[in-house]
Chain A
Amino acid sequence: MSARHESILNHARSRYFWVALALSLASIVAYVWHAPDVGPNGGTWLGYTLGTIAALLIVWLMLFGVRKRSYSGAGGTLRGWLSAHVYLGTSLILIALLHCGFQFGWNLHTFCLVLMLVVIFSGFFGVYSYLRYPTLMTRNRESATRAAMLEEIGELDQNALALADGIDPKIHAIVLRSIQNTRLGGGVFSQLSARDDSDAALASVRAAIAARETQAKATTNPQSGQTIFAMVDFLASGANDRQTEALRKLIDLLSQKKAIATRVARDIQYQAVMEIWLYVHVPLSFGLLAALIGHVVSVFFYW
């Protein structure tokens, strides 16, 4: 094992890079040498040959989804398969373009090509995210696990409640509200946008609170939608020293919690980004398979 980290791109001394390169070069040479009198197209013998290679490649590339699910390890390591998947999938762009002889139109055939290109380029994003996000995730977690971070948030919440209870029922209610509003994860877009919702709901209930708390003197501050600002308001409104000290501690605790919550949200975001492309890549590749079947059958239907 070499000292250098082996990734999907340099697996087995980039074996599949060279395979894909050889395949591409062979296709280019054949294409240039062939030069049929009617112009290069999918209907010449080279067109059929490249088309057959491209179709078999697509089917083989889709078999990666099957190989991924099997743990038997048949036919090489999963990393080897992925490396080959990436490189041969990339060479497919060239082979398909040479197959069609750069003829495009508003038809099923070009639709198939476009679908194939979208699938491949979504795969490029996947390669990018697999190479980039694991590092970012590790750095973001700072050697903790997500479960440990969530547990820490829970403990901080308990401590904050205990502290707040010693200060004032109003502060206690605010902290309680803050705990309830700390929402990590959520829908697809919440996960992708790394929102942790820890204080966001506060502003929306301000009007209701103002109506209920008739004795509240604190003037509304545009920033006081955040728990911390709400407590600073309270500090400014005057309290005794012991309470002030406890409040400072509470603010510390909540800031700490906020930092961890942000990291968890980012962790969720990284994982979501690393997965989201597959939700495009996989369904579109099945669409591509259908378009490919349509392309091949229709071509021979009206031979």
Chain B
Amino acid sequence: MRWLIRRVLKQGKGAVSYEEDVHFGDTLTIGRAADQAIFLSDLRAALNHARVSAESGGRYKVESLILAGIRVNGQLTYGIDVGPGATIEIAGTRLVLLDPPRDFDAAVEISTLDKTEQAAEKAKRSKPTTLSQTWIGKRVPSWLLFATILALGLVLPALSHFSAPLAKLLAHSPLPTTRSWNPGPLDAAHRFFGDDCKQCHPRAFLTVRDESCLACHSTIAAHADPGAFNLPALGEARCASCHQDHLGPAGMVRTDQRLCGDCHTNLPARTQNASRLGDATDFGTNHPPFRVRLPAWDANGAFAPQVAVPAAGTRENSGLKFNHEKHLKPDLNTPKGKQTLVCASCHKPDAGGLAMKPIAFETMCHDCHTLGFDTFAPDREVPHAKVAEVSFMLDEFYARRALEGGVEDREAPGFVQTRRRPGDPPLSRQEQTEALAWARDKARKVADSVFTGRACVTCHTVTPPAADRGYRIAPVRVAGVWYDTARFSHNKHETMSCKDCHAAATSPVASDLLIPDIANCRQCHAGARGGGKVASTCIDCHAYHQSTTLKLKTL
């Protein structure tokens, strides 16, 4: 096998000359030993370093004979099958395997690397020694992170606000939606539509408008008429001024007294006397006295309470005569034996716990205060009803007695006193007329006695009949809502005893006002700071949405 060995000899100034040699043999041996086909003097070469054999089709087989291996085409190897053009590097010498020219079976070109070339080779092969030479970088990850976070965190959700299809697409993908902007959990009542931010935030970069709230809260009452009271704070107040969602219960309803107190200061002057409300900035230290709704009736008899601040001589006109002191004495003599009454015997809270149920004669008074009217008929009573019904009942009762006969009354006509037996002839027309006249007379006398002497007058104020009308019973109003603008709940004061607030046990007449004043409440309650007392802010007793005539939606 004929090998062409071409040596490249470098001369000065870049000039190159070639020296060609022929080698006969199956293989081309390379090394530092004297018997090698290609002799290398460099110490970095082994004695028998490598072997190249030509194969069919112009290909070469390169084998390393030592365990250090050889570098073929820049890669360390122990044996490789290569085509022409492959480069072998050993100890500062470069061998290029060539396409054999005519008359040769194989060819190789040998050149010696000079120092600069060797240094370049070494630099090319040397591994990075600083991180900046490796694959990791800062610029590309920085841009990637910046762009990704901006796109997913801001741009996509923002675009979905304007594009409903995109919002729908995002909602069905794992990508973040505008929900990822939710700063805190929504109130439980708002959660069912909470995924759709636009329900409350319809327009970007605008605060939540009242219209959004009023779309659902359409019946909510206003506080006061901004037209009547010239107060900027009233007109400018937004729902969100007091109700902020995403902040938990504390944010949902603001309870701080400052919110009310800032406005409820010097109101008469600030509203040109449109409002006459006193200053209220702190329940414990700065709050007007309580106003109560004193029972009163207008000319038509309709209940029209008078709101007033109770003074020392203020009397309550409930229309009833009642001695609390006497009724609360222990061991009262009653038809059912000894009984001791308590407040709750008559004053029972209504289902809501806010007020008391009306007093019912039948269940509360009737056990002792029976309405009998005739000693000969002790089990008969007049109804606890209107005057006309009582009179009607008495008329009927005595008419029947007169016509039946057997009445034990010396003043009655004889045939009325006579007990009639079966078979007796019926009363004549004349007798009937006389009997009924007696009955009418008797009924009127008994009615007089019932209304003015025995029964009604015990508790009621009865006006005797005049020319144009009969008896009149004054209207009665015992239970009801007493405070004008505040809500007092008996329910929340269950731990208290009635007498702690109501001096009923020492009240001999019903006109004593037993409704407590602010000093009574202040024994336990103070303003927001509380101190040693129950901290109470405005909305513990007052409502903001309290107008009875104005709705927020119509403002």
Chain A contact residues, CB within 8 Å of chain B: 37-39, 41-43, 103, 105-109, 111, 146, 158, 161-162, 165, 169, 172-174, 176-177, 179-180, 183-188, 190-191, 202, 205, 208-209, 212, 268, 271-272, 275-276, 278-279, 282-287, 289-291, 293-295, 297-303
Q: Counting CB contacts under 8 A, is B322 at the interface?
A: no
A209 vs B153: C-alpha distance in the bound complex, in angstroms?
A: 59
Contacts of B161 in A (CB 8 A): 301
Do B46 and A176 touch (CB < 8 A)? yes
Given contacts A158-B43, A169-B46, A205-B67, contact A302 B131 (CB under 8 A): no
The residue of chain B having its C-beta at the shortest distance from the C-beta of A300 within the complex is: B205
The residue of chain B having its C-beta at the shortest distance from the C-beta of A302 within the complex is: B201
Question: Contact partner of A279 among B69, B136, B251, CB < 8 A?
Answer: B136
Contacts of A39 in B (CB 8 A): 247-248, 250-251
Contacts of A291 in B (CB 8 A): 149, 153
Do A169 and B47 touch (CB < 8 A)? yes
Question: Contact partner of B130 among A162, A165, A275, A295, CB < 8 A?
Answer: A275
Do B205 and A283 touch (CB < 8 A)? no
Do A172 and B47 touch (CB < 8 A)? yes
Contacts of B184 in A (CB 8 A): 41, 103, 105
Do B129 and A282 touch (CB < 8 A)? no
Do B247 and A41 touch (CB < 8 A)? yes
The residue of chain A having its C-beta at the shortest distance from the C-beta of B48 within the complex is: A169
Considering only residues 288-334 of chain B, those with a C-beta below 8 Å from chain A are none
A205 vs B254: C-alpha distance in the bound complex, in angstroms?
A: 79
Most chain A beta-carbon contacts within 10 A, residue among B65, B76, B128, B206: B128
Contacts of A271 in B (CB 8 A): 129-131
Contacts of B425 in A (CB 8 A): none
Do A303 and B183 touch (CB < 8 A)? no
A163 vs B154: C-alpha distance in the bound complex, in angstroms?
A: 69
The 9 closest A-B pairs by CB, nearest first: A287-B145, A185-B129, A173-B66, A294-B154, A294-B153, A283-B141, A37-B256, A177-B68, A286-B142
The residue of chain A having its C-beta at the shortest distance from the C-beta of B247 within the complex is: A38
| 30 contacting pairs across A/B (C-beta < 8 A) | A37-B250, A41-B183, A41-B184, A105-B184, A108-B180, A111-B153, A158-B43, A161-B43, A169-B66, A177-B67, A184-B129, A185-B128, A185-B130, A191-B128, A209-B67, A275-B130, A275-B131, A275-B132, A278-B138, A282-B142, A286-B142, A290-B153, A291-B149, A293-B150, A294-B149, A298-B154, A298-B157, A301-B204, A302-B197, A303-B206
Known: A279-B136, A287-B142. 19 other contacts (CB 8 A): A37-B250, A37-B254, A37-B256, A37-B259, A39-B247, A107-B180, A109-B183, A169-B46, A177-B67, A180-B76, A188-B136, A205-B78, A271-B130, A275-B130, A279-B131, A287-B145, A302-B201, A302-B204, A303-B207
Shortest CB distance B93–A (Å): 14
Do B67 and A283 touch (CB < 8 A)? no
Shortest CB distance A297–B (Å): 6
Q: Counting CB contacts under 8 A, is B143 at the interface?
A: yes
Do B149 and A185 touch (CB < 8 A)? no
Most chain B beta-carbon contacts within 10 A, residue among A161, A202, A286: A286
Most chain B beta-carbon contacts within 10 A, residue among A43, A105, A294: A294
Shortest CB distance A15–B (Å): 29
Q: Counting CB contacts under 8 A, is B208 at the interface?
A: yes
The residue of chain A having its C-beta at the shortest distance from the C-beta of B197 within the complex is: A302
Do B131 and A180 touch (CB < 8 A)? no
Shortest CB distance B317–A (Å): 43
Shortest CB distance B149–A (Å): 4
The residue of chain A having its C-beta at the shortest distance from the C-beta of B144 within the complex is: A283
- Chain B window 427-452, contacts with chain A (Cβ cutoff 8 Å), 1 for yes, 0 for no: 00000000000000000000000000
The residue of chain B having its C-beta at the shortest distance from the C-beta of A189 within the complex is: B134
A158 vs B157: C-alpha distance in the bound complex, in angstroms?
A: 66
Shortest CB distance A298–B (Å): 4
Q: Counting CB contacts under 8 A, is B168 at the interface?
A: no
Given contacts A294-B154, A302-B201, A303-B208, contact A176 B68 (CB under 8 A): yes
Considering only residues 179-236 of chain B, those with a C-beta below 8 Å from chain A are 179-185, 197, 201, 204-208
Q: Counting CB contacts under 8 A, is B244 at the interface?
A: yes
Contacts of A294 in B (CB 8 A): 149-150, 153-154
Question: Contact partner of A172 among B46, B131, B142, B147, CB < 8 A?
Answer: B46
A96 vs B111: C-alpha distance in the bound complex, in angstroms?
A: 68
The residue of chain B having its C-beta at the shortest distance from the C-beta of A176 within the complex is: B68
The residue of chain A having its C-beta at the shortest distance from the C-beta of B45 within the complex is: A176
Contacts of A191 in B (CB 8 A): 128-131, 134
Do A282 and B153 touch (CB < 8 A)? no
Do A208 and B142 touch (CB < 8 A)? no
Contacts of B133 in A (CB 8 A): 185
A208 vs B179: C-alpha distance in the bound complex, in angstroms?
A: 63
Shortest CB distance A174–B (Å): 7
The residue of chain A having its C-beta at the shortest distance from the C-beta of B126 within the complex is: A185
Do B131 and A188 touch (CB < 8 A)? yes
Q: Counting CB contacts under 8 A, is B391 at the interface?
A: no
Contacts of B179 in A (CB 8 A): 107
Given contacts A42-B183, A299-B183, contact A108 B153 (CB under 8 A): yes
Shortest CB distance A123–B (Å): 14
Question: Contact partner of A303 among B69, B78, B130, B205, CB < 8 A?
Answer: B205
Shortest CB distance B179–A (Å): 8
Q: Counting CB contacts under 8 A, is B536 at the interface?
A: no
Q: Counting CB contacts under 8 A, is B135 at the interface?
A: yes
Contacts of B46 in A (CB 8 A): 169, 172-173, 176
A107 vs B176: C-alpha distance in the bound complex, in angstroms?
A: 9
Shortest CB distance A33–B (Å): 15
Q: Counting CB contacts under 8 A, is B178 at the interface?
A: yes
Considering only residues 421-476 of chain B, those with a C-beta below 8 Å from chain A are none
Question: Contact partner of B69 among A177, A186, A268, A275, CB < 8 A?
Answer: A177
The residue of chain B having its C-beta at the shortest distance from the C-beta of A286 within the complex is: B142
Contacts of A179 in B (CB 8 A): 44, 68
Shortest CB distance B403–A (Å): 80
The residue of chain B having its C-beta at the shortest distance from the C-beta of A115 within the complex is: B149
A2 vs B132: C-alpha distance in the bound complex, in angstroms?
A: 36
A39 vs B256: C-alpha distance in the bound complex, in angstroms?
A: 11
A268 vs B135: C-alpha distance in the bound complex, in angstroms?
A: 16
A283 vs B138: C-alpha distance in the bound complex, in angstroms?
A: 6
Do B48 and A302 touch (CB < 8 A)? no
Question: Contact partner of A108 among B176, B247, B248, CB < 8 A?
Answer: B176
Given contacts A39-B247, A303-B206, A303-B208, contact A161 B44 (CB under 8 A): yes
A288 vs B141: C-alpha distance in the bound complex, in angstroms?
A: 13
Given contacts A37-B250, A108-B153, contact A297 B158 (CB under 8 A): yes
Do A173 and B68 touch (CB < 8 A)? yes
